[in-house]
């Protein structure tokens, strides 16, 4: 019963995370609610990183930015603390991982700007409601994630390639998947590529860069969406002197219901 | 013939502007193409102003930001110079208008960041194509613009009230107007208010703050959209030490076709 509650109520789920009782991935957690990627950078990089995200909205849709020094969200939740409410964090110095941890309170500085960026976990529930089967999710697996060869529009020191998620779908449902995700530009919106991954530099779809390999049925078409791992990898490759992110698949679970983030 | 060409081809129109031969408003100019508002600020205000726009996307949809010192657009046009290609500019110091001019070349500095923000002139053509009559436009008048009492979400020094455009529409066409503009979040998207303006602080709709008074037919419903004058007024009220904007209704005419800016 306790289990049921925290799996469906973000506030209870974040309490569990905050008290160190959940340090696992968040797919299938609080499926009615918006989840978000986290990137934290020193203020002097914040404007250029914002520009990078705005120029590449499909992989990097900004949901909320917290001004330098602020660690309480306002829009995604009225009570969350992004220093403690995410199951796992990664701390990078000069592009190198120096620490994986479950709280960043001791690393917090007043010049840090936090970016909460859309996550496709959010629209999975919308797809399911629309009768679109998600083979990996149904099998309790994470979505398949790939680094493509698609170059993004640069801004300042930030440049790099698009990361994508892929969901294999029956051809008859592809149009519906486009229509459903069109309503959710803040969680990557419509697919960026529909068809063979080889055209965007994915040699072998069974060879994922993150997540789990895809479960593909005969005749399924590959449908690719921008992925919120993109801004994280781009910031990493830019070798910013200091950066904190969530650990891939360990998302911020917000209090916003999916419908509240739909374009209206 | 020359007249027909520059009224339909942005590159020719901007040449006319650049050579000082057009210093009038741009409504009804190059109607197939995206028009944009301009706000130019010193770099130290750029991040907070960006945050302000992102937090208030209906009145302040960012189309393109040029990094400090850059005056050539990349996305809206491959050849435009925002220092010369707008019919009229306003130069402000400490919140006071100090100059109205037709070129800002002599005021240009390397620390200036330029924001191009969506304009509802752009979706007027989409509305017309969908069979929605625009009474003011049909009569050769500018749209009606009002300052509301709706407080926007602040960011840094930037705060203020929403400015709106209003188009009176027959009740049967209101849903269609919502659907058509839904596709254009970069040019203010769907209406922010449908019904009497008194609810958002507009006492007398015949008393406009900018533009022309509305031409209203019996039974028409008031339909309000966010207006790109908002960020300009907000920056002005924040008394930034130096700011350049276009003059209201004298827009940047881009090379992007309307459909190229639709959400997809």
CB B263: neighbour CB atoms within 10 A?
Answer: 16
Q: Any residues with CB less than 8 A from the CB of B236 and at least 6 apart, and which? A: B92, B95, B243
Residue B27 has pLDDT above 90, yes or no: no
Mutant choice from B43, B51, B73 vs A, greatest count of A C-beta within 10 A? B51
- Which region among A190-194, B36-40, B63-67, B136-140 has the lowest average model confidence (pLDDT)? B136-140
Structure tokens at B220: 């028409």
CA nearest to B48, candidates A70, A66, A245:
A66
Phi and psi at residue B206, in whole multiples of 5°? -85, -5
Whole-number pLDDT of residue B147: 97
Inter-chain residue contact B263 with A263, CB threshold 8 Å: yes
Q: Any residues with CB less than 8 A from the CB of B169 and at least 6 apart, and which? A: B132, B133, B177, B220, B221, B223
Q: Over the stretch A111-151, which tens digit does the pLDDT of each residue have?
A: 999 999 999 888 888 899 999 999 998 998 989 999 999 99
Contact present, A154 and A26 (Cβ < 8 Å)? no
Residue that is written with structure tokens 């990557």 in the block:
A188
Read off the pLDDT band of B28 (50, 70, 90): confident
Chain A residue with CA closest to B62: the answer is A54
- Option in B55, B62, B185 nearest A263 (CB): B185
Q: What is the three-class DSSP state of A95? A: coil
Contact present, B246 and B168 (Cβ < 8 Å)? no
Contact present, A105 and A34 (Cβ < 8 Å)? no
Whole-number pLDDT of residue B219: 93
Handedness of CA B192, B197, B199, B203 (dihedral sign): positive
If DSSP states are collapsed to H, E and C, what string results for chain B? CHHHHHHHCHHHHHHHHHCCCCCCCCCCCCCCEEEEEEEEEEHHHHHHHHHHHHHCCCCCCEEEEECCCCCECCCCCCCCECCCCCCCEEEEECCEEEEEECCCHHHCCCCEEEEEEECCHHHHHHHHHCCCCCHHHHCCCCCEEEEEEEECCCECCECCEEEEEEEEECHHHHHHHHHHHHCCHHHCCCCCEECCHHHHCCCCCCCCCEECCCCCCCCCEEEEEECCHHHHHHHHHCCCCEEEEECCCCCEEEEEEHHHHCCC
Residue A35 has pLDDT above 60, yes or no: yes
Residue A4 has pLDDT above 80, yes or no: no
What number of CA atoms fall less than 13 Å from residue A227's CA on the CB side? 27
Chain B residue with CA closest to A55: the answer is B64
Phi and psi at residue B230, in whole multiples of 5°? -50, -55
Q: Over the stretch A185-242, which tens digit does the pLDDT of each residue have?
A: 999 999 999 999 999 999 999 999 999 999 999 999 999 999 999 988 898 888 899 9
Interface of A with B (CB under 8 A): 43, 46-48, 50-51, 54-55, 62, 65, 67, 75, 155-156, 182, 185, 189-190, 263-264
Residues of B in contact with A56 (CB under 8 A): none
Distance CA A224, CA A196 (A): 9
Residues of A in contact with B190 (CB under 8 A): 264
Residue A180 has pLDDT above 60, yes or no: yes
Residues of B in contact with A75 (CB under 8 A): 55
Q: Looking at CA atoms only, how far is residue B99 from chain A in angstroms?
A: 29
Whole-number pLDDT of residue A120: 85
DSSP code for A150: E
Beta bridge partners of B172: none
CA nearest to B148, candidates B92, B108, B97, B208:
B208
Residue B3 has pLDDT above 70, yes or no: no
Beta bridge partners of B244: B40, B91
Residue A43, exposed/middle/buried by CB under 10 A (0-12, 13-18, 19+)?
Answer: middle
Read off the pLDDT band of A1 (50, 70, 90): very low
Distance CA A231, CA A10 (A): 25
Residue B1 has pLDDT above 60, yes or no: no
Q: What mean pLDDT is predicted for residues B8-29?
A: 94
CB B241: neighbour CB atoms within 10 A?
Answer: 12
CA nearest to A121, candidates A143, A93, A140:
A143
Read off the pLDDT band of B2 (50, 70, 90): low
What distance lies between CA A256 and its chain's CA centroid? 15
Beta bridge partners of B235: none
- Option in A67, A185, A264 nearest B263 (CB): A185
Q: Over the stretch B84-93, which tens digit does the pLDDT of each residue have?
A: 999 999 999 9
Inter-chain residue contact A46 with B47, CB threshold 8 Å: yes
Distance CA B55, CA B52 (A): 5
CB A67: neighbour CB atoms within 10 A?
Answer: 15
Inter-chain residue contact B185 with A62, CB threshold 8 Å: no
Average pLDDT score, chain B: 94
What number of CA atoms fall less than 13 Å from residue A65's CA on the CB side? 31
Q: Which helix (H) or strand (E) holds A49?
A: helix A46-55
Residue that is written with structure tokens 């290609």 in the block:
B85
CA nearest to B189, candidates B107, B110, B108, B123:
B123
Whole-number pLDDT of residue A52: 96
Q: What mean pLDDT is predicted for residues A12-24?
A: 96
Whole-number pLDDT of residue A201: 97
Q: What ipTM does the predicted assembly reach?
A: 0.83
Q: What is the three-class DSSP state of A7? A: helix
Q: Any residues with CB less than 8 A from the CB of B9 and at least 6 apart, and which? A: B30
Chain A residue with CA closest to B64: the answer is A55
Mutant choice from A46, A49, A51 vs B, greatest count of B C-beta within 10 A? A51
Q: Looking at CA atoms only, how far is residue A264 from chain B in angstroms?
A: 7
- Option in A47, A62, A185 nearest B54 (CB): A62
Whole-number pLDDT of residue B4: 67
Which residue would you say has higher pLDDT here, B58 or A28? B58
Residue that is written with structure tokens 């969506």 in the block:
B118
Q: Which helix (H) or strand (E) holds A51?
A: helix A46-55
Percent of residues, chain B, with pLDDT higher than 90: 87
Average pLDDT score, chain A: 94
Phi and psi at residue B118, in whole multiples of 5°? -55, 150
Q: Looking at CA atoms only, how far is residue A75 from chain B in angstroms?
A: 9
Residues of B in contact with A182 (CB under 8 A): 263-264
């Amino acid at each position: 019963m306790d289990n049921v509650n925290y799996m469906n109520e973000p506030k209870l789920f974040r309490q569990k995370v905050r008290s160190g009782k959940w340090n696992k991935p968040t797919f299938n957690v609080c499926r009615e609610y918006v989840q978000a990627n986290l990137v934290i950078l020193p203020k002097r990089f914040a404007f250029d990183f914002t520009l990078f995200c705005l120029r590449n909205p499909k992989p990097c849709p900004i949901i909320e930015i917290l001004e330098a020094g602020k660690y309480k969200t306002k829009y995604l939740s009225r009570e969350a603390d992004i220093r403690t409410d995410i199951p796992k964090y990664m701390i990078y110095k000069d592009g190198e991982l120096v620490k994986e941890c479950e709280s960043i309170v001791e690393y917090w500085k007043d010049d840090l700007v936090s970016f909460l960026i859309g996550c496709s976990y959010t629209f999975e529930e919308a797809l399911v409601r629309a009768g679109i089967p998600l083979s990996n999710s149904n099998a309790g697996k994470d979505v398949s994630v790939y680094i493509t060869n698609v170059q993004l529009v640069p801004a300042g020191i930030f440049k790099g390639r698009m990361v994508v998620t892929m969901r294999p779908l029956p051809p008859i449902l592809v149009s519906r998947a486009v229509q459903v995700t069109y309503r959710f530009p803040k969680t990557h919106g419509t697919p960026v590529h529909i068809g063979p991954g080889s055209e965007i530099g994915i040699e072998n779809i069974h060879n994922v860069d993150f997540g789990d390999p895809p479960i593909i049925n005969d005749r399924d078409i590959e449908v690719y969406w921008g992925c919120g791992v993109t801004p994280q990898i781009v910031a990493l490759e830019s070798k910013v002197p200091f950066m904190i992110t969530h650990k891939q698949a360990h998302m911020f679970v917000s209090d916003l219901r999916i419908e509240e983030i739909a374009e209206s």
